[in-house]
Amino acid sequence: MGIPLKEASDQVGVTRQTLMKAIKTGRISAEKTANGEWRIEPVELFRVWPAVKGVQHPLQSALTAGYTPDAPVIAGEVVDLLKAQIDLLKSQLDDVRADREDLRNDRNHWRQIAERGLLTDQRPASEQFQDTPQSPEVAPVAAPFTTTAPVRWQLLVSPVRPPFEG
């Protein structure tokens, strides 16, 4: 859980109103508690504003509270924990890379099938067109028109204008 606005404003040397404006504009993220109080994570606060001199970060106090130069065991334990976390992250990264390679292989396999034309309709030609419905708008083709009489063309005139008299 974060620190209240009052404490945050004291640590970075800005007013509470400045912090609220930054929260409202999205410059900094914060959460509102059940009682309506805004709380900001120290990491988020110090990402935007540097600490005022003389104020120790809460994270620093937790790390340096039990530190003495005579106790390298604690530092060694921290290093061991960090190495274990790095190993875990490396194994997760390897899993993601393997999944990505599997996906690439699948994609290439299906691409080859499509390029070879294996995704075409393999049914006999007589069965291929049975599924296609005939549209009723298509009329049968009539025999070509032939006549020996001369063809007389008539100009169609709009009912709005009188016909041209020549």
pLDDT band of residue 146 (cuts 50, 70, 90) is low
pLDDT band of residue 135 (cuts 50, 70, 90) is low
DSSP character for 135? P
Residue type, 82: L
- C-alpha to C-alpha distances, 47 to 28, 44, 51, 79, 91, nearest whole angstrom: 9, 5, 10, 25, 30
What is the separation of C-alpha 137 from the centre of its chain, rounded to a whole number of angstroms? 46
Q: Residue 54: is its pLDDT beyond 80?
A: no
Q: Tens digit of pLDDT for each residue in 58-77?
A: 544 544 555 555 555 567 78
Mean pLDDT of 38-56: 80
Please check whether residue 2 is in contact with residue 30, taking contact to mean a CB–CB distance below 8 angstroms: yes
What share of the chain has pLDDT > 70, as a percent? Answer: 60
Model pTM score: 0.33
What share of the chain has pLDDT > 90, as a percent? Answer: 10
Q: Residue 106: is its pLDDT beyond 90?
A: yes
List the alpha helices (DSSP H) in the chain: 5-12, 16-25, 42-48, 58-64, 72-116, 125-128
Please check whether residue 46 is in contact with residue 7, taking contact to mean a CB–CB distance below 8 angstroms: no
Length of the chain: 166
